[in-house]
Structure 1
Amino acid sequence: MRALVTGSAGFIGYHLSRRLLGEGHAVVGLDGFSDYYDVALKRARHAELERLPGFEPVEGRLETPGLLHDLLGRVRPDIVVHLAAQAGVRYSLENPQAYADANLTGSFNLLEAVRAHPVRHLLLASTSSAYGGNTALPFRETDRAVTPLTLYAASKLAMEAMAHSYAHLFGLPTTAFRFFTVYGPWGRPDMALFLFARKILAGEPIEVFSGGTAERDFTYVDDLVDAIRRLIDRPPPAPGGEGPACAADTLSPVAPYRLVNIGGGRPERLGRMIDVLEAAIGRPAERIAKPLPPGDVARTHASTELLESLIGTVPSTPITDGIPAFVRWYRDYYRV
């Protein structure tokens, strides 16, 4: 199999590319190395991938006219996994243009490129933030998602809608994922676990929103990558073909398109996450209570019924295993 992975120097893109390369597949990894967070960490991830046979790095931004069209025309991949995006809930309040450029224009450019050079399966990363103001838990893919709280969430919802239209018009088998709070080695420095680890090790206080009562469906990166890998082999059928996988299936009646949650299905309180992190590091944190920032939600919880129907048993690493694995990587990488 020949895969194009966008965002291959990102957290999830790195782990997925490594998994595919380990299976003997060829991976072309595209990344723009934006400076939203530490570019050196992104370069280090790509350097790790470049040591593996079958990896071809390409540097470029999604919104560059013609770049994706030309790249797909040259590479002719069997699958495309679109993970590149402007991430971050809170940053969308500071720099909304970055989300319009990468998540809207960039995703449109990718869809146009795949229309010109069709692939066996197009897979796109969305977010649990798409559920917005929904309060019914767990979040089910069949829930209405019409109340985004940030431009980040709105841009991902727009990408989902654009992808469905292309799947319908051009028969492109497409799966969109909604990810839930992914963490693990080589993680993103803007995420809470990474920020807390850095501050605790530096002897600095940490800001804990909502007094630690907020809940997140923490998803260990290896579990998420395993789910993506197995879904690669399950492209949605064309209308009139194979029926729904279960009652909760989001298989479109007019397009080879499906939306799938990828989460652990076991939310944890933020305070509990900090307890486990303190134990893994071996020192307590000074906690400063702060109110929940605009755009953040009080809790997330993924329904995994559809995912389980599609891939079988859903992997779910507990935070008591996943957080110590992250801490070991962090101490090794930063030598602290």
Structure 2
Amino acid sequence: MKKMIAVLSAVLLLVGCSTAPIDKTADPEVKTEPVVLSVLAPKGATSLPLIPVVLDKSADVTFVDGTDVIQAAFVNPNPEYSVIIAPTNLGTKLGSAGKTNYKMLGILTWGNLYLVADSEDALSNEGELAAFGEGAVPGLVFNETVVDIKPNVTYYNSVTDAQAALLSGKANVALLAEPAATATIAKGKEQGKEFKIIMDLQKEFEAKSGTVGYPQAAIYVLEDKYNENKVVYDQFIASIQDYVSNVNADTMDQLKLDIDEITPEELGVPSSEIVSKTWDRMNIRYVPASESIEQLQAFLALFGIENFEESIIK
């Protein structure tokens, strides 16, 4: 009888164990998937700060030409991207009009516009000036800073078209953005033409507004997603900040290697060599939007945008 009781007790013990709830949280095999930010950015100078996150694959980055895809992403009712990099006027205008849920987190570039010509006195003589970005950042900064000039101004669809007009002789001065400005000077030299930078529009803007440079492109995020995953976003920003702040004469060779690994075509730049020569003139540095109110006020006034502070992360 004692033996039978012992057997029944063992059976009941096994049944009890088999019906106990499984604590999945204690299972070492259950893991949380890491958050990977999806980033949309224009090609060109604004692609360069993203080099570290592209190389270490800590973010999924898509580079595009122009702003059509970027504008569509801003107003998509089902947001596809964690981060959008865009001209400050574009994102802020949509935000202040209530057309997007993205808010500005920080400024990434502070102006890269220059006039390139065949002579120092090109603006004092009759001729043709090829410009681009009419109604956008390049055109409005140009109109604000370049006044009382003799050349006739013709706007082209892109910086590439303005560059072509200068190289072909249709224009003798052009509004260009770095690194395209230096690439144009190099291409001109190959054709036996001597071009030079005759005006830094960032310095001209500073003289008129009293602010250092102007907030040209910014990082935008969805505020709720940013608050939910602040550590991930902060790591993303820290990676960018650390990379761009450490580009100097001693690290230019590494910068060129990084660009060549990703490829200049993917980033939308002429070559790693030209980027290394023009880095300082692209004015790439990250500053939180909340610390750039004065600069934003001066710059966004060109676009008639005044009520923008609700469109930034504070």
Work out whether the TM-score is over 0.5. no
The structure with the largest helix share of the pair is: 2
TM-score, normalising length: structure 1: 0.29
| Greater RCO, 1 or 2 (C-alpha within 8 Å, sep 6+) | 2
> Greater Rg, structure 1 or structure 2?
2
